[in-house]
């Protein structure tokens, strides 16, 4: 199936492309050109039910497959991902806008979760206690939940779904993915590759859509668990609605990530790191740096360096060789970001580099915003309070590390934060005191590797368990503890008191 020429995308149900019953469709746009390139169905409750039923039907056989056999499917899938990385990156770039290099990088981060999940026979090992009582042993099992659901955002159409389904299916669950309606095509390519890798039909399904599809998933009686990544208001809604309907939920929300720059930092290093972390992927990363906290007298020299580099960031279509930064996702996103820059100016921040009208020749209808830098930003301004999700960096000046940490800890979001310093003492104080899910020390985007778990605190994550790593295994399994005795002389007498071991 050549999806790139299809005008209307199908769903993927029970191991094949399926026409939906819905008549509602949305537009998928190439953000570099502004052109509508295909249409995506907005699944209704009947479409969602068909996908969930297919997943439920596949579950008994899949959960019974030995973990090693499940792992081998993932090993083959990993090889296919690697072989097709360049074509997959093109699909991401066409619908999302990020540069090809960045798209490939995000595929690699997803592939790493597949590699981690391929270790599932080891990861599922339980605990065993010999003789917890006379002739009594106790041990634990981790068993799959059933049908699990992933609802994912536009900014990582490959990586974020791969934070979820490799581990979910490795644990023996079946899966329904509801990808973002803005860049939905990659999910279908992943479905095809999983099938080619030998995944049985119905173990992985895709429904496209918006709130209607999401609500049908949240309320479906056969859905056992929901993993969500997206903006904070929707994450909160998913958590509350999913929990009210008896689902296990992990819902990752938005972010406002800070980089603290200490007076002793290597400024050339910090500048390059912050430029990449702030403007890479046009700032549309949940771990993008958004606020720079300049401590003491570092602010002036830091801003000089940042401004000089920000003015040189090359903006263009993601498939252009020299583009460092592509467009943002939609026309509405561009207008929102430009509106926030206007507000920053109106509220008194100093606009050092203005990216509101970048010239991208031959792409007048593309959704481009240039690298933008503000100085003298304060915590009451909209550009500080709101998640901009665009290429805008705001410098907040503070006198000390204590003030920097207090600023970060007072922010409602708590995904990532980084410190740039040469002082081990300052770095350790930061590590201990910052109230945040993921901390970086001279690392601007401290995204944990697949074998650690990813997640924020406060409004950046609703639920108890992070994604991937061992938290992922715990999320996608239920714990069962067995206490066993094998008497062979029929001597067990009925006991009417609390059972005591020993």
Footprint on this chain of ligand NAD (rule: CB under 6 A): 151-156, 160, 178, 180-181, 210-211, 214, 229-231, 234, 237, 252-255, 286, 387, 389, 415, 456, 460
Whole-angstrom distance, CA of residue 124 vs CA of residue 430: 35
C-beta atoms surrounding 379 within 10 Å: 12
For ligand NAD, the closer of residues 114 and 151 by Cβ is: 151
479 contacts 140 by C-beta, under 8 angstroms: yes
267 contacts 298 by C-beta, under 8 angstroms: yes
The residue whose Cβ lies closest to ligand NAD is 230
Comparing CA positions, the residue from 29, 415, 52 lying closest to residue 231 is 415
For ligand NAD, the closer of residues 107 and 302 by Cβ is: 107
User: Minimum CB separation from ligand NAD for residue 67, in Å?
Assistant: 27
User: Minimum CB separation from ligand NAD for residue 129, in Å?
Assistant: 37
Sign of the C-alpha dihedral, residues 61, 64, 69, 73? positive
Within 8 A by CB and 6+ apart from 295, the residues are 260, 261, 262, 263, 398, 399, 400, 401, 403, 404
294 contacts 302 by C-beta, under 8 angstroms: yes
User: Minimum CB separation from ligand NAD for residue 462, in Å?
Assistant: 10
Task: Write down the residue that tokens 């990993």 correspond to.
Answer: 78
User: Minimum CB separation from ligand NAD for residue 179, in Å?
Assistant: 6
For ligand NAD, the closer of residues 219 and 311 by Cβ is: 219
For ligand NAD, the closer of residues 172 and 440 by Cβ is: 440
Within 8 A by CB and 6+ apart from 251, the residues are 226, 227, 228, 229, 235, 236, 238, 239, 242, 461, 462, 463
393 contacts 354 by C-beta, under 8 angstroms: no
Catalytic residues: 286
3-state secondary structure 288-340: CEEEEEEEHHHHHHHHHHHHHHHCCCCECCCCCCCCCECCCCCHHHHHHHHHH
User: Minimum CB separation from ligand NAD for residue 42, in Å?
Assistant: 9
376 contacts 294 by C-beta, under 8 angstroms: no
For ligand NAD, the closer of residues 240 and 266 by Cβ is: 240
Comparing CA positions, the residue from 116, 325, 145 lying closest to residue 226 is 145
Q: What is the DSSP string of 25-52?
A: EEEEEETTTTEEEEEEE---HHHHHHHH
User: Minimum CB separation from ligand NAD for residue 383, in Å?
Assistant: 16
For ligand NAD, the closer of residues 238 and 353 by Cβ is: 238
For ligand NAD, the closer of residues 12 and 59 by Cβ is: 12
User: Minimum CB separation from ligand NAD for residue 152, in Å?
Assistant: 6
User: Minimum CB separation from ligand NAD for residue 196, in Å?
Assistant: 25
For ligand NAD, the closer of residues 271 and 411 by Cβ is: 411
Pairing relationship of beta strands 136-144 and 128-133 according to DSSP bridges: antiparallel
Structure token pair of residue 334: 């561009």
């Amino acid at each position: 199936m050549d999806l790139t020429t299809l005008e209307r995308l199908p769903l993927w149900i029970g191991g094949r492309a399926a026409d939906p019953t819905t008549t509602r469709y949305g537009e998928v746009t190439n953000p570099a050109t502004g052109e509508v390139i295909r249409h995506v169905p907005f699944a209704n409750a009947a479409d969602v039910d068909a996908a969930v039923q297919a997943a439920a039907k596949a579950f008994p056989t899949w959960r019974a497959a030995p973990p090693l056999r499940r792992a081998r499917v993932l090993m083959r899938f990993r090889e296919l991902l690697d072989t097709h990385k360049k074509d997959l990156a093109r699909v991401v770039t066409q619908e999302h806008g990020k540069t090809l290099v960045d798209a490939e990088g995000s595929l690699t981060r997803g592939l790493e979760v597949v590699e981690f999940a391929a270790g599932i026979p080891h990861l599922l090992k339980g605990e065993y206690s010999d003789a917890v009582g006379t002739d009594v042993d106790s041990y634990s099992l981790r068993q799959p939940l059933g049908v699990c659901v992933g609802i994912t955002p536009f900014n990582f159409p490959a990586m974020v779904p791969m934070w979820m389904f490799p581990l979910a299916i490795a644990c023996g669950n079946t899966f329904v993915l509801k990808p973002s309606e803005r860049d939905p095509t990659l999910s279908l390519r992943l479905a095809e590759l999983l099938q080619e890798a030998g995944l049985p039909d119905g173990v992985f399904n895709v429904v496209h859509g918006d709130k209607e599809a999401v609500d049908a998933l949240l309320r479906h009686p056969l859905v056992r668990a929901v993993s969500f990544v997206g903006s904070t208001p929707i994450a909160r809604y998913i958590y509350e609605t999913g929990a009210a309907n008896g689902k296990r939920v992990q819902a990752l929300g938005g972010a406002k990530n800070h980089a603290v720059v200490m007076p002793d930092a290597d400024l050339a290093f910090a500048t390059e790191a912050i430029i990449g972390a702030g403007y890479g992927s046009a700032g549309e990363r949940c771990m993008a740096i958004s606020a720079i906290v300049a401590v003491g007298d570092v602010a002036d020299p830091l801003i000089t360096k940042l401004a000089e580099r920000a003015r040189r960031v090359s903006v263009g279509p993601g498939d252009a060789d020299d583009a460092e930064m592509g467009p943002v996702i939609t026309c509405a996103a561009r207008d929102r970001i430009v509106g926030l820059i206007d507000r920053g100016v109106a509220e008194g921040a100093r606009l050092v580099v203005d990216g509101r009208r970048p010239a991208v020749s031959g792409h007048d209808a593309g959704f481009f915003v240039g690298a933008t830098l503000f100085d003298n930003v304060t915590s009451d301004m909209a550009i500080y309070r709101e998640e901009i999700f665009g290429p805008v960096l705001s410098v907040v000046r503070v006198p000390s590390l204590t003030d920097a940490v207090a600023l970060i800890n007072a922010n409602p979001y708590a995904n990532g934060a980084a410190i740039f310093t040469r002082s081990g003492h300052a770095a350790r104080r930061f590590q201990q005191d910052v109230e945040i899910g993921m901390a970086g020390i001279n690392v601007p985007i401290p995204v944990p590797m697949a074998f650690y778990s990813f997640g924020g605190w406060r409004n950046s994550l609703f639920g108890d368990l992070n994604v991937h790593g061992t938290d992922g295994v715990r999320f996608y399994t239920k714990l069962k503890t067995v206490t066993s005795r094998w008497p062979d002389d029929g001597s067990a007498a009925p006991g009417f008191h609390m059972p005591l071991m020993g």
